Structure formats: C-alpha cells, structure tokens
Structure 1
Amino acid sequence: MSQANEPAVAGPRDYFGGRLNLEQQKKRAKELLKAVRDGDADAGGRWELHHPKGAAADRQLADAQLVIARENGFLSWPRMKAHIDTLRIARQRIEAGRPRVPDSSEMVHIRCGEDIRHSLKVAGFSGAFVEFSDPYCQGPVPRLDRPAFLGKRSEFIVSGYDRSLKDTRDRLEAEYGAVDALGAGDRATLWFEHDSYDQLILARLLAHFSRLDERPELQMICVGEVPGVQGFVGLGQLQPEVLLWLWENELKPVTEGQLALGVEVWDALTDPDPTELSRIARDGTPALPLMAPALQRHLRELPSVRTGLGLTQELSLSILAGAEGQSLPAGRVFQALMTRHEPLPFLGDLMFWHVLKDLADSTEPVITPDPETADLAWPKRVYTLEDTGRRVLAGEADFLTIAGMSRWVGGIEIRPRQRSWRWDEGAETVVMA
C-alpha cells in the first residue's frame, strides 16, 4: 500500500506471493547503490542493517546485491538467484501443464482452511485435501466430551458468524470425522503457519494423533517466514511453485516431542485457569518454536488489567481514536488492524465482525453504528468511537463493567461485572482481578 512519506528507495516487498523476478531485483540493487552514494538516509539505514560490514562495506554493486538478497531473506545473492531459478523452472512446468507429482495419491494434506487447496492441485499434488478449520482463537474451547464440545462450538459459530446451526454442526462433524478416520497405514501432511489461529488448531491435531494407539505417518510444514515474501502472513498468499519449494525444503517428520507438546498445549488451552498456558508461553516451546509466541498472543485476548479490553478490542478502538472525527467503515478498521497494528495477524473478516458486534453491545456506548449504513454489507458500515470508548482506552473506565455479553478466550469464560482472569501487560502474565 502506498505511503505518503515513502523512502526514495523502497524496501523489500512481497513480490506476488514469493514469485521474485531476477531482473527486478537487479534493478532494485542498482537503485539502492545510487541512493546510498547520493547520501539517502533511508537507503543508508537499510545498508547498515543488512550488510555484514555495515557502513564500512564497499559501495559496489555486489554489496548492494547482497543487501537486496538479505532483505528478501537469503544469505547471499547467488542463493537468491538459485532460488529464483528453481521457482522459474517449476513455474514453467506448471504453466505447460507438466508439473511433476511431488506426493502420492495416498497422501492426505490437512490445512486449517481452503486457501491452498487449489494451489496444491495446480502445483501437481495428487493427495486428498482435508480442511480442519474450527477457529479456536475465538469463542469457547471448554474441556468437554466430543458431542458437548461440538455443540458449544456450533452455537458460537452460529451466533458469531451468522451461519445456520445444522450446516455448522454438519461441517464440524465432517471435519472432525475426516481427521478421526486417519490411522495406521495412512500418511498425512500438516500445513501450518505461525499465527494463533493456525497454532491452536495444530495443537489440537497433535494432541489427537498423540493419543491414538495406532497413528498415521505424520509430516509437517510449519513456517513463520518464507524467503522472498516480506511481511509473510500465511500460506494462502503463496504461488503454487512456492508451495513446491516449501515441500522440498521445509517438510519434516512430526516428532514425539511435538506430539507431546500438542497434548500439553491443548490441555492448558481448555483449562479455565490459564496459569499453565501462560507458563508454556513464557518458557518457550523448542519442539515447535512458533507455538509460544502464538500462545502469548492468544493470552493477550484476555481483558487487560488496565482497560478490561482484549488486545483486538483495544487496537480496534485505538484505530477509531486515530481517525478524524472518530468514525470509520468497519472494513477500513479491519484493514488498518491487519496491516499496521496487529503484532501477529490471525483474524479473518467475519471473525473481526464478531469483535465489533461485541464492542457495540456494551451497556454504555463504546462504539456506535451509523444507522444510515446499517443495511450495507458489514465492511461499509460506519462506526463512531464514543466518549466512553475514549475513557476505556485511557484506563479511566473498565470495559468489563459495561460489557454486554460474556466472551470466551480458550477455556475461560469472561463474564461482565465479575472477577476474571486478565492479562497484565507490565508483568506479561495472567492475573485474577
């Protein structure tokens, strides 16, 4: 997205889902070199940040190329060039209708959404695709038996996302059933990224497979960044040839340590006391390094000790507070949240709509919808930040004292006007208050 005060030489960008163009990178290196020689401060800062010799590096084209390569996530220009060549060859085969088959028809690919289903097919993958996308990052995740648990999840999805109860329950039953059907003799690949949406689902799957007497052969791709993709958000943004590259470079067998961690995290996530989940997040998760940051982000959805707001709620109000007149369409608030404010993006659009509805349902107005936009699609509905919302943001009022409905964070139900588990920003831990 264009910025008013963009630097003279643009920094690295996501070039079409990881599809880098070598000639374009050569041009960027030449532009960077010229800008550095001309004394451009932004270009000089990039040079110092990414060149191993910093400001002492020679101001030659090879040095500029090294900076560009490292901005794109590569150790050297030759390694970036080899990566680009590999993707180009794979893309040419795909475009010619001759992709090689990387897996087998017996493989099952499990993903928490449909975002890579088509790209896997285009890339030549022949295995079955199983979607498992129950969004544990929102709504109740209580410790219940399967029928009661799916009933609770179905009720939340229906109320939060405006779905029909029968279709929702049928879909959940089908997704859970497809995973349950995998056992000894089957082969499955888990495709996941770094945010709390993915990592909580991954924990549940690992816990499930760990508890089987006869489990399938499991392998996994779990990434928080991809070379050539600046600002990586998720696997769904990647081109088919980049998914092939991940298969060849990031695919690893699931270990016993990862299965055990899944059990530990899932048990803590469903506990109405978040103390153990907070400990796991604080101590780190070496078996799955991306899990701990996702858990900490999840815990920050607990009410703040200062405002009573979860982090997504607080960021949303802050975006409205920064708007001229404190009014914005919901879609623009969501865009600002995802691109400039959210430290670890995990929400889909309907999930964010649920957050706004919760905020608007307070007993004293925190945000109010413009009645003239009430019949428009939700991204076009305009919301205004009210005085109460400003006082809550400033820590002068506690949102839990005026919240209109209960809210869940994992296994914890947060009830208005009652003591609750909260997140202490200063101590970076959970407290009861």
Structure 2
Amino acid sequence: MSPPEQQPKSKPKPKPELRRWFNGRLNLEQQKKRAKELLRAVQADDPAGRARLASFHPEAAGVTARTAKLADAQFVIARENGFASWPRMKAHIEKLRLAQQAIDLGKPILPDTGDTCHIRCGSDIAHGLKLAGFAGRFIEFSDPYVQGPLCDVPLPEFIDLRTEFITQAYGVPGSEAAKLRDQYRQIGALENYAHIVLWFEHDSYDQLILAFLLAHLRAHPVAGRLELICVDQVPGVPHFQGLGQLSPELLLWLWENARRPITTAQLNMGHAIWSGLLSRDRSVLSELAGLGSQHLPHAARALSRHLQELPSVANDLGLTQQLTLEILRDGGCMPAGRAFRALMTEREPLPFLGDLMFHHMLMDLNNCRMPLFSVSPQTRDSAWPEQMLDITAEGLAILTGEKRYLPGYLGERWVGNIRLSAADKVPRWRLENGRVIIV
C-alpha cells in the first residue's frame, strides 16, 4: 500500500487484510477438512466459495454446483497454499512430517559440516538451524542500514558512525555497540570457512545488508564455496513475512530447495547496489529505484521501498511516517504497540521494521515545532508500547497535504547518505505508473 500520487484524502481507508504468522507446518487432515468445507460451499453456490474457486481453478467457469467434485476443491486448497497440485502438497507435507519426526527423535538429517558458516541479518533462525541438525557456525550480522547514515567513508570510520547511531537512536547500552563491532570483525574473517551460506529474505532490511555482504565478498574474495538462500515466499506459508517464522524442518526444506551458488554477477550487482546506497546523486538514486535484475530479483522492490523513506512530494513524509499517521487517524487514540502491530500486519507493503526501529521513527516523527500526535499524560511514563497516542490537528493537516512536514521538523534523519532536515535541500519521491521517481 503506497500513498496516492495526489494529496491523500482524510477519508479512512478500508481495513487491509490481516497477515497471519504461521510456521509452515501444514496438517494434511486439516487440509482435507478444508477441502470438504469448500466443496460444500461451492455446491451450495456460496459466493465466497465461488470466489475462491474462480481465483485458483483454471476451469472454474465449467465447475457448477452440480458438477463440483472433491478433486476441484482439493486443487483450490493446494493452490491457496502455494502448491501446483494436491499431490505435490501431500508430498511436501509428508516430507516435512518425516523431517520433524527425525528432529523430535534427536536424529535429524546432517545437512552441513562444522566448517560451514551461516550468515543471517539477525538471530531469528539460529535456534531453528541447530534443531534442524546444522553443525556449522552461525554469524549474526544485523546493522540496520534502513535507518541512520550510510556515508562513503573508510570502513573503520563507517563502523564508528553506525555504532554511534544505534546507541543514540535505540537507547541501547554500549555492549550493543561492541556486539556490532564484533559482527564486522567476524565478517572480515570469512576466509576461515570452506562453505559460506547467506540466509536472506525480500524486504529492504535484508536486501540492504545482503548488498553490503556481496560487495564485501567481491572486494575481499574467499576460497570457500559461496551460496545464497533468498526467498520472498515459501510453499504452505500464505503470508510469508520472514525466515524467523519458519519451523526447523522448513529451514531444512529451504536448504535443500532454495540454496543457490553465488555468482560473479550477483557479487557485481551487490557492489553496484551498495555504491548506489552510499550516493547523494539524485540520478543514481533514480537508477536504484528503477533497478530490475534477474541476478537479485528481490532487490528492485526492496530498494524502491527504501527510497520511499525519503520525503514524498505530497507532504514531505516518508512512507513509514505516512502509514503511521494514517493508522492513528483511522484508529483513534491507541497504544503505540498496537500502532506498530497494525503497521506490520496490515499497512506496510514490505514489512521490515523491528520494535526499536519503529520507536525511534515515532519519536523522531514527533520532533517538531507542533506535535503530530499527542501522548496521553496518564501513560507518558509507561513503557513506550503502552503509551496512548492520538493524532493532532497538525498531524491531520500534514496528512492531507495542507501543510508540509519538513519546515516544522526540528530533527535530523538519514536515508542512506542523504541527510534530511529543515535546512537541507533534499530529494523527494513520487509514484508514476507504480514506479518510484526521485525528483
């Protein structure tokens, strides 16, 4: 969901579909039950049942209430779950069941060796990999490039800038800065591994970190085998949001079915993307927004989404800021934690924020001469997710485009190497035929 090209209306939008968090463990008996329920609905000419049939059955027009068979309903269920057919879904479920059984018995398949290095931009799959039987070392590399400065400076100075940002922006202790420095140190010692596997997904948080790692591996070649797992969907997971939601046997399935060698073209593309992210040139940013590549197929959408954090031509808000204010407008006074959940499960087209990142955005958004939202005095001393927020008249005026955001903004934020403040002449974005244009 993106802001309209014209000034946004104050009329509330229809509530989007809620994304479910599911680990991918499909139950065959449950799917059989769902198929029988769908068949009964189609036979009763239920509009919802007919709509599902029309969406997923290539010969839906020829399937009537009288001619509908269980096989038709099973086919629809399989397609809804992301499979080509019911037999393929059954085979997938059985394979996962056997893998889960082996894990539960303490006899998992041994997919890798001790000289393998698994790199992920977070710790979310570390335990799952261990349960699934992976023996290699796990390295978390989780510098959140989607926020804070990405300056074109030597790496030691770059690391200093990043550690300073995360400690100040997220209010974390110095130990977190030390942890980040150690992550960079580990990435600088990858020549010790015979096999390196990068585990990533499709959102901007992952794709920006992936670009850095590919650029780093291009600049510092290693002898070990390089492979990549990078997905935007997983069969049996209708609302895939990230690798961290998957069960151990699904991680094993990805290892067997989604792992690919990292090519020279991918290393070069990672270098090009990272160089673009460090640029202040509008033309370079425009090229990033229009990027499309078979080598890194998820990069274009993620980069376009990242550039939508720049001020929009409509009102100077980045897209996360825009969506957050829309949530407060449409939902009325609400806890900040509920606003975050609504953003991640309903509004955000490509979810990428963590809770600390959202809180930083929220506080920075309200760093204005006139606040865009108020915090209930009764909850001001509560933990931030419990603080009650209510949009102000100023926030509504900016949402509708009656006012612009930056003239009253008192802070400073960064999108890549672009500093955004009231004093800066900044690039802005707009949508043109669904494409992000930088002006």
- Name the TM-score, length of structure 2 as normaliser: 0.92
Correspondent of 2:97 among 72, 79, 88:
88
Q: 1:196 to 1:379 in 2, by over 3 A?
A: same
**Correspondence list, 1:22-421, <5 A:** 22-57=28-63, 58-164=67-173, 166-183=174-191, 186-323=194-331, 326-421=332-427
Q: Secondary structure at the match of 1:368?
A: strand
Report if the CA contact (8 A) 1:193-1:223 is conserved: yes
Q: Are residues 213 and 60 of structure 1, via their aligned partners in 2, closer, same or farther at CA, if it must alter by over 3 Å? A: closer
Q: Distance in 2 between matches of 1:70 and 1:15?
A: 19
For residue 371 of structure 1, report the CA deviation from its aligned partner: 2.1
- Kindly, what percent of the aligned residue pairs are identical? 50
Q: Distance in 1 between matches of 2:192 and 2:392?
A: 58
In 2 relative to 1, CA 122–84 (structure 1 residues): closer, same or farther, beyond 3 Å?
same
2:116 touches 2:193 (CA, 8 Å); kept in 1?
Answer: no
- CA deviation after TM superposition for structure 1 residue 38, in Å: 1.2
- In the aligned structure 1, how far is the partner of 2:291 from the partner of 2:19? 33
Q: In 1, distance between residues paired with 2:310 and 2:84?
A: 39
Closer, same or farther: CA 377–423 of 1 in aligned 2, 3 Å? same
Mapped contact 1:265–1:277 kept (Cα < 8 A): no
Give distance in 2, aligned partners of 1:299 and 1:172: 25
User: Comparing 418-427 with 141-150, which one deviates more in the overlay?
Assistant: 418-427
- Residue identity in the other structure for 1:224: D
Q: Does the 8 Å CA contact 1:273/1:412 hold for their aligned counterparts?
A: no
Contact residue 139 and residue 410 of structure 1 kept, 8 A: yes
Task: Tell me how far 1:333 sits from its aligned partner.
Answer: 0.4
**1:107 positional shift:** 0.3
TM-score (norm 1): 0.94
How far apart in 1 are the matches of 2:184 and 2:194? Answer: 16
Q: Please list the CA deviations of residues 5-57 of structure 1 after superposition, one character each: whole Å capped at 9, or x if unmatched.
A: 99xxxx99868411000000000001011111112212211111101112223
Q: Compare 313-322 and 47-56 and name the one that shifted more.
A: 47-56
**CA displacement 1:170-224 (0-9 Å, x = unmatched):** 1121101111101276311000000000000000000000112445321010000
Aligned-pair distance for 1:367? Answer: 1.1
Deviations, residues 255-295 of structure 1 (Å, cap 9, x unaligned): 11110000000000011224324313314121011111000
Amino acid of the structure 1 residue aligned with 2:421: R
SS in 2 for 1:362: coil
Report the 3-state secondary structure (helix = DSSP H, G, I; strand = E; otherwise coil) of the residue aligned with 2:230. Answer: strand
Please report the RMSD computed on the Cα atoms of aligned residues, expressed in angstroms: 1.9
- d(CA) in 1 for partners of 2:54 and 2:133? 42
Q: Is the 8 A contact 1:14 1:229 kept in 2?
A: no
SS in structure 2 at match of 1:108? strand
Alpha carbons 2:289, 2:436 under 8 Å: kept: no
What do residues 222-269 of structure 1 show as CA deviations (whole Å, max 9, x unaligned)? 000000001100000000000011111111110111100000000000
Matched pairs, number: 421
1:115 aligned counterpart, secondary structure: coil
SS of match in other structure, 2:415 = strand
Query: Alpha-carbon deviations, 1:344-389, whole Å to 9, x = none?
Result: 0000111100111012211111112112112211110111100010
Letter in 1 for 2:257: N
Within 2, Cα distance between the matches of 1:313 and 1:190? 31
After TM superposition, give the deviation of residue 390 of structure 1 in Å: 0.2
CA distance in 1, matches of 2:275, 2:21: 40
Unaligned 5+ residue runs, structure 1? none
8 Å Cα contact 1:115-1:235 kept in structure 2: yes
2:308–2:319 CA contact under 8 A, matched in 1: yes
**Residue deviations 1:122-144, cap 9 Å, x none?**
00000000000000011111111
Partners of 1:14 and 1:307 in 2: how far apart? 32
Secondary structure of the residue that 1:189 maps to in structure 2? Answer: strand
**8 A Cα contact 1:209 1:259, kept in partner:** yes
